[in-house]
Every structure is written in structure tokens, then in C-alpha cells.
Structure 1
């Protein structure tokens, strides 16, 4: 077994100009590595202390892997990179999804596999729908499930955190429960607009005036974490600063507070979005919910200050209708009426959190998935494009947290967005995935006769 180092060593490798130094700078929190569009800027191994959530590690930026021989500069750079891989505890193998999987990616993926080091495959530059779909091509490298990320924009770091956690030993006594096992605490972030009652809710759950509260908006500035237990579930709860519209955030301190709240969302498993029941579903509420969905976190909505509502029945029905209409990307999301000040509905809110977490972790068998796909296609076949039929052959679940699926077929890049929505809605209804942000990527199967032609 590899000797346990004081700090886990993580090496970032890949061919030139895929974004390794950009990720390195983001993880160390400083612009230590030069970044430029010109390939080959990084030549030496550069080390720093990386931080991701509560993880601290030694991060190594490496020169781009190039196919070179002899005593050339490129060959010496490659030797430095290979040495970094050998000395690491885990390797982050990065590709550029915009460029697709290249021959160099395939060659160096094989080289990395031969070292025997654990590998996490990062599909970089995967901003937006196109990038996330293109990431599915990386399965051909044989390095496991690709993690779509954006080093430049900081997207996908929550998934990278989850992938890295198993490689970190638990500090302290060996008898302590591991934080990455089935008994690890459920990570919950409480978010919302200023004065939505976030700190009041946290205090109610903790049973103490742990957070400073008051009628003034914006009292909370830092994201503060507290541990508690609820009905046998270990909880790590993070109270965050109120999130206002971006145009209104001008002071440096508030900008830092907002960045801290967004970071808490990225590292949470379930996000509780608190709405003021007297003025619910403001534009900013919808923006926050959309951010949570894009980050792939489980979402639960709490209608807070419910004690101020008189016509409760009609108000709750109207809220549920607006939720499904305004946030179709999390259709069926848990909605709970509650009041943090009095404690009304708080237990129901936590029960919703536990249910949402279970859905977020749900897996579907490949056999059941392909029976569903066959039925979905028979009821509503994919449309023809330029007179040619799009064929969907089979599907598999790539991962959970959130439920993510890959559908294989021909001409899948021409599939319209409306048909993707049809498949997502079908998955949600057929496999009981209410509220979960569902990811569906498409991959075109190669035609073995093309080359012969």
C-alpha cells in the first residue's frame, strides 16, 4: 500500500493547453502558474497547497504531455510529468471537451493507466449544455466516469470534491467515523435572499442562538457550519449570507460574502432555498434555484414565515403551481410551508431534505433503463433531420449525485432540445425522480463500415 503522506499529493496531467494551470491556480487560490492560450507555457512541475471545501492537499501542476523522444526539451518535460504521476496519490487527467478526445489524449491515458495510480478524469471547458454533452466522449479513454468541469469559471468543483474525498484519511483518532462513508454527515446549505430567515431556521434546528439574527437584512456575512443530529441523521448545516441581485452587490465585503455562499452551494449535497412566504418566487429566488440546479445539487424549497399567511390553503396551492411553472428543471421539487421563528413545519422541512437526498443518490438498473427507452421511442420516435432518422440504441446511468445518464445512438448531435426535455421528463416520471436535476448526455456510436467505404 502507498505510504500515507502528511498531505495527499494530487497531480494534474494532460496534453498542452487543456487548462491544467487554470485549475491549479483556482485550487491554490493564487495566480501562481502562468496561464496563456499558447500551448506549452508550463514546463516545470509547480507545487502548491490546494484547498477544496474542507480538503487540504499538495497540488502539482505539470507540463503538457507531448510525444517526444531523446534529450529534447519536450522529452525532459514529459519525464518531469511522469515523475509527478509516480509520486502522486491521485491523478487528475484533464482533457479539453471542446477539442474532443484526440490521439494524444488516448496515448497518454494509456500511459497514465500503466502507472497504477488512481485517476479522476476531468472533462474541462464543459460550460453549458454543449460542453456537458461533449464530455460523454471521454468514456472512450477507459478512465472511468468523466467529471464535466470548467477551470476558468469554477463549475463542477462540487463533483471534484466528492471524487477526491475517498483518497483523504480522516484526521485524528482512527476509531472516529469516516466522513466519506455511509455514516458521513449530510451536507446542507441554507440559502436565500437577505432577511428570508436563514439564521433563524439554523438556530431553531440547533436549539440555541448559534447565529446572530435580527430584523436588519444582511447580518450574516460568512458561511458558518454547524453539526447537529436530526432523527438519527448526522447533519452538517451551513448558514450563508443573503444573495441579492448581482447588480446591487457593489461593496467588496458583500462580494466576498456572496462568493462564500455560492461556494457553500457547490459543496452541499442538499440546498434548502428559503423563500419569504409573503413575497415568494421573486426573480432572485428563481435565479438562486437555477444556480442550484446547474450545480447539480438536490433542492428543497422552504416557504418561510408561514405564520404570517392567513389564506393558507389557496396560498400553498398557488405556490406549488408557480414552482412547477417557473422551475421546470426541478419539476416535483419538495416544497414545505414552515416558520423558523415558531418552529412550525421545521420537522417537515427536514423530512423533505432526507427524501430529496435519497432521490439525488438514486440509481436505475441498465435493464430497466433500456426497457423505458424502448417504450419512450415507440410512443414518440426521434424526429428525422434532413430526411434521415435519428436512432437511439441504448442507455446507461453514468452516475448518481445527481442522476446522470448517457444515451447512445446515431446522429445524436442533431437531436432537438425538445426531445431531450421529453426524455428527461420521462425519466423523472418513470423512475420516481421528483425535483432532482437530471443530466442526459448523448453519444454517437461509430459506424464500423465508414472507414471501409
Structure 2
């Protein structure tokens, strides 16, 4: 696992006391889904937080519920309890308007048995309605309650005063270590740039050593969270037979050891909620979850679309894949549950053919067979993901691009509709991630879409971009007499 660079502060409390609202307030953005109904949060979500200059890693947790250990709420409770392992402090949140409940007292008893220091937070304390609840908090024997309103941002200074003595010294020490590590990395990048300049090479702004942003998407119950847990080697995400357990998109920084080279590769794994057909998504929370998953695709570099081997490829899978391609992300398909699949050869070939037919604009998308239970194919999947990112980030030299352009036009000249030639004069690459090119010429409005597809496919094949989205823009040269 990735080493932490900030002290960790875990937010704990029963459902609907405002833990996610407080988390969003501390991290300064709406990372966690928030709704009036209880039990929205299910998996731990982490984010870099700031409190009047005090920096730390905040951890949002599922609401504490007293249920059977094998039930979904019971498994959520186990995840919450595990979150305290290795934490530097905890924020125990209760609802000042409702006052203390037996469940609050149970949580307090458990926290007193732990070695982690606790700050007691009386949330929803704005106005006079929370005064009696604030006083009640003293009975928990956890010191003076800190009255706050996470929704309105009140009480933040008091929260800083209570939390700072617990983590400020460690935060300062970890900050010094992080700055030293950043300075070493900056020296490495500077040396690489100087060496490249001496060779006449222009480096891309993208750092190949940066973490790979890898999102796992798919329909509900395809095994996305189970796959992430298998990669991490721990039960980091909540799983179970129920469909739609995951609601938030959860990002986890992780170091993967490449089996062949033994090299440590940094990855940011992003687990997302299952995406059903739009017509079936009627619940407000599910709509929020799907929207959160689509935002995760926007910020990913490579997206793994996970299929269920027991169900094969469905129309909804193709819709998700098309959405990924439209956003310009590098896409790969993994067929999960391979350990229980039947007639695997026919299944694989059938999915391959259906993909080539359904994703005609991007043929040859990588297809792998994996098992989140046994670990089959997971290393190959990660290795292929890094290769995809490299192609997605590639910039072609000007000379190489011109050679390809001349060859492509000679092999298949542009058509001449109505007897008037379409002239393609030159091409330039204007961006990467995804690769983007502009072609200049005349009468480009008459260029058939089929010829544009020919150019895109030729770029992928001849310039080694593989199955990544390639964008071509046609631009007519300006008439100097206009």
C-alpha cells in the first residue's frame, strides 16, 4: 500500500448525523454523496483536508448500526471499525438536535476502549435547538463536546483548537518529509529534461512515473469491488451478494509490483457504482451514484469495463464503453468470474466479435479474462493498462508524422467529388491524452466520413497508437483575400 504523507483522522458516528457533510466541509469539495436518508455512505472515502492551515487525511465512514455481522449493515460496521486501525485521531460525531441515543453511547464505549484520541463533535448545533444536546455530550465522558454546523461551516475554529494538539506535531514532521521527497523528485525530473534537451528530444508534460488513474466500471454485481480488494490484498471495499452495494466512487492510491521486473508502479484505483440502464435508474441515490461514476471516468486515464462472465456482453456494456470512448479515455475490457465461466473459448470469441461489431469506431479494444476471486489475469490487466496509457500519452515527432501523412495520401488519395480535388496539405499533432491532430487543406467540408475513418485507423496502425481514441480536426486554410 501507498505510504501516507499526512496524519489520518477518521470520522465516526451513527447514520445521518452529518459525517459526510463534515467530510466534504473539511476537504473543501463535495466528494462524498450526501442525502437526507440515512445509510448513504457505505465504503470508506479518503480525502486531503485542511483546517485553518492544519493539513491531514480525512476518512468518511459508514454509519454505525447495531446489526447482524453477516448483514449488509453489519459488514458496513466492520469496515468502519477497521478504519480506525493506524489512524491518528477520530472525530466522533453525534446529532446535537436529536441528542444522545443508546447507539451513540455504544459507539462511545467502543471508542474509549481504543488507543486513538477522540474529539467529540456535536453537529447540527446552529441556533438554540442544539443547546441541550451539547450539554448531554458531557455524559459520554469524552471531554467537552465541540459544537459545529458542518452544513453552514460554523464552529470550525473550535474544531481546530480541539484537533490541533493531537496531530499538529505529526503533520509538521510528515510535511517536512514530503517536501524533501518532492525536492528529490524535482531534481530527477530536471536531470531527465536536461538529458533529453541534449539529445534534441522534447519531453511531454506527462510524467510516466505519475500514478496511473485506473477506473473500474461496469454493471451492478460484475465484481468491481471484489476485484479491487483482490488487487489490494485486503477487504478495503464492502462486497456481498447484494447488487448495487457501492455508491460513492472510491479512489485508492496503491503501489503495484510488476512481476517480471519487480518495479514498483504507482496506481490510483477508482471503484465506481454499478451502472444500470437509464430507464431502470429511478432512485435519487442511484442517480447520484451513477453521476459520480461518470465523473470518475472523466478523471481517469485508463478505464476497465468489467463484464460478468456468467451474463456475457449486454447492450448496457456497449453503452458504457461508448461513453468512455466519447470522453476520450483509454478503454480495456475484462471478463470477470472466469473461474466459474462455462465454454470459455466460445464466450471469449463471442465477446470479441460483439465488441468489434458494437464498437466499430475503435476496433481491437484489449480484451482479457480475469477472476477477482482467484487473481487470474490481474497482473496482465495492469500491465496492459500501463501500455494503454503510454499510447494514449504518445506524441509523434514532426518528421515521423509527415512521413506517415505523405504515405497515407499516396496509398489512398482523397476523393474528388464533382471532379474537384480535395487537397490535404499538412498535419500537426496538437495534443495528447487522447492524441489529437489537426489536418489543414481545402474543400474539407466535402471530405467523406469514410476517408476520415481511414486516416484515424491508419494513424492507430502505422504510428503505434493501438486501440486508443484518436481525434482528428479538419481545418481549411484562411483565404488571404477574404
CA distance in 1, matches of 2:403, 2:179: 46
User: How far has the Cα of 1:278 moved from its partner?
Assistant: 2.4
CA distance in 2, matches of 1:389, 1:55: 60
The 10-residue stretch of structure 1 (185-194 or 310-319) with the greater mean CA deviation from structure 2: 310-319
Aligned residue for 2:247? 221
Contact 1:330 1:434 in 2 (8 A): no
Aligned residue for 2:433? 401
Residue 414 of structure 1 is aligned with which of 431, 446, 451? 446
| TM-score normalised by the chain length of structure 1 | 0.60
CA distance in 1, matches of 2:244, 2:335: 19
CA 1:283–1:267: 2 relative to 1, 3 Å: same
Aligned residue for 1:242? 274
Cα displacement string for residues 324-379 of structure 1 (whole angstroms, at most 9, x for unaligned residues): 22112222211110110111111111111111111111121222222222222222
SS at match of 1:271: strand
Aligned residue for 2:210? 184
| TM-score normalised by the chain length of structure 2 | 0.56
Larger radius of gyration: 2
CA distance in 2, matches of 1:55, 1:187: 21
Aligned residue for 1:307? 339
Cα displacement string for residues 144-201 of structure 1 (whole angstroms, at most 9, x for unaligned residues): xxxxxxxxxxxxxxxxxxxxxxxxxxx8732244797443211111100000100000
Aligned residue for 1:427? 459
In structure 2, runs of 5+ residues without a counterpart are 1-27, 31-46, 51-174, 187-205, 258-263
Query: Do structure 1's residue 175 and structure 2's residue 180 form an aligned pair?
Result: yes
Aligned residue for 1:123? none
User: How far has the Cα of 1:267 moved from its partner?
Assistant: 0.3
Aligned residue for 1:349? 381
The 10-residue stretch of structure 1 (201-210 or 273-282) with the greater mean CA deviation from structure 2: 273-282
Aligned residue for 1:197? 223
Contact 1:336 1:352 in 2 (8 A): no
Write out aligned runs for 1:32-431 (5 A): 173-177=178-182, 181-231=207-257, 232-431=264-463
Contact 2:312 2:347 in 1 (8 A): no
Q: How much is the aligned-residue C-alpha RMSD, in angstroms?
A: 2.4
Aligned residue for 2:21? none
In structure 1, runs of 5+ residues without a counterpart are 1-26, 30-52, 57-170
User: How far has the Cα of 1:223 moved from its partner?
Assistant: 0.6
CA distance in 1, matches of 2:313, 2:426: 39
The 10-residue stretch of structure 1 (298-307 or 372-381) with the greater mean CA deviation from structure 2: 372-381
SS at match of 2:438: strand
CA distance in 2, matches of 1:393, 1:421: 18
Give aligned pairs, total.
Answer: 288
